[in-house]
Amino acid sequence: MPAEKIQERSGLSENTERDHRPGLCLTDELELRFLENLREHGRAKDTISVYRRNLSKLRKSLPEDSNLTPTFLSNWQSELLDQGYSPGTVNSCTATVNSLLEFAGRRDLQAGQLPLNEGTLLPELTRNEYLRLLQTAKLLGKRQTYLLVLMFGTMDLPLHALASVTVEAVREGWVFAPQRLRVPPCLRAELLAYAGERGIGSGPVFCTRYGKLMDRGNINVRLQSLSRDARVSPEKCNPRCLRKLCVATQEGIRASLELLIEQAYDRLLETEALTVGWNESEVMER
């Protein structure tokens, strides 16, 4: 048998063995021992706090048995990217878990870092481009695609949590993904009307014509199909860019409100100062 074939078969065997190795159960005890080890080795409090936050993100994505499997970390990286985290933040989370795995003697479960280059940066989708996507989907009669754009553009919903968007959850006005997300009234009304017309009385709202939950590929194909007609760059037509716009819009509104609060508070203090403020000339007259 040629050497190349032997190496190829050997590599397949190693990958198979890797996939069948037992995972690691992330227990409270293991996490505490890991963090204590960091303190003993002189890590700063701020650094340890970052590690603790990253592990908290990890726990939210772990299955019920808290088992870290050989393929979990790579899937988790994709999940974090879908949630809108930058590649740098994902790498920070990966480094934390890799350190934990090394501490536990399970380097075989570690994952590599994501490349940090311009290709990994998330492009900015403008509000006007978002509205053009909605208008184009409406003009083309693509209602399901229209609702996908509307949902990701108005809710901070990660793609992997699409199954949580059920008729029951929309009717209640809240989706758990796993944090509780509010369904805006305008989106709620449109989703319920769509579900009613499609005969979807319960369960996930976004399904294929065969009744299966829409997957990542199906959604991306639908969003990408709008790019040319809407005159929007294809790189911006995805759930991550829509979520980024949603978060940026909310942050902008919060910043404006905070400025208004500061200005109103300053005006209140100035008015009070005119009434009861310390006036040096008045004191001297007394």
**Which domain CATH number covers 9?**
1.10.150.130
For residue 64, the enclosing domain spans: 3-120
* Inside any domain, residue 210: yes
> What is the reported pLDDT for 283?
54
Q: ω into residue 178 within 30 of 0, thus cis?
A: yes
Q: Which of 120, 148, 176 is the last residue of a domain?
A: 120
Residue ending a domain, among 66, 89, 120, is 120
* pLDDT tens-digit map of 19-55: 456 788 889 999 999 999 988 888 878 788 888 988 9
- 102 lies in the same domain as 197: no
CB atoms within 10 A of CB 59: 11
The whole-number pLDDT of residue 16 equals: 42
d(CA 256, CA 260): 6
| Same domain for 97 and 183 | no
Q: Is residue 9 part of a domain?
A: yes
- Whether residue 153 is found in the same domain as residue 173: yes
**Entry pTM:** 0.57
Asked whether residue 81 falls in the same domain as residue 174, the answer is no
- Tokens 């009669």 correspond to what residue? 141
User: Do 108 and 143 share a domain, yes or no?
Assistant: no
Q: Looking at the structure, tell me whether residues 133 and 241 fall in a common domain.
A: yes
Residues 68 and 95 in one domain: yes
- Looking at residue 5, its pLDDT comes to 38
Distance between first and last Cα of the chain: 110
Return the H-helix or E-strand segment holding 6. helix 3-20
- The span from the CA of 36 to the CA of 27, in Å, is 14
- Mark whether 38 and 59 lie in a shared domain: yes
Dist. CA 66–CA 43, nearest whole Å: 26
> Which residue, chain included where needed, has tokens 């003993």?
40
pLDDT reported for residue 180: 85
Cis peptide, bond prior to residue 87, ω within 30 of zero: no
Residue segments in the chain with a per-residue pLDDT below the cut of 50:
1-19, 118-119
Domain end marker among 88, 120, 152: 120
Question: Cβ atoms within 10 A of the Cβ of 161, count?
Answer: 18
Q: What is the CATH number of the domain that holds 137?
A: 1.10.443.10
d(CA 283, CA 260) in angstroms, rounded, equals 35
DSSP three-state, residue 72: helix
How many domains does the chain divide into?
A: 2
What angle in degrees, to the nearest 10, is found between the helix axes of 216-224 and 239-276? 80
Which residues face 24 on adjacent strands?
68
Say yes or no: 172 and 104 in one domain: no
Is 26 within the bounds of a domain?
yes
At 134 the pLDDT is 96
Residues 108, 174: one domain?
no
Residues whose CB falls within 8 Å of the CB of residue 243, separated by 6 or more in sequence, listed in order:
83, 84, 152, 156, 157, 158
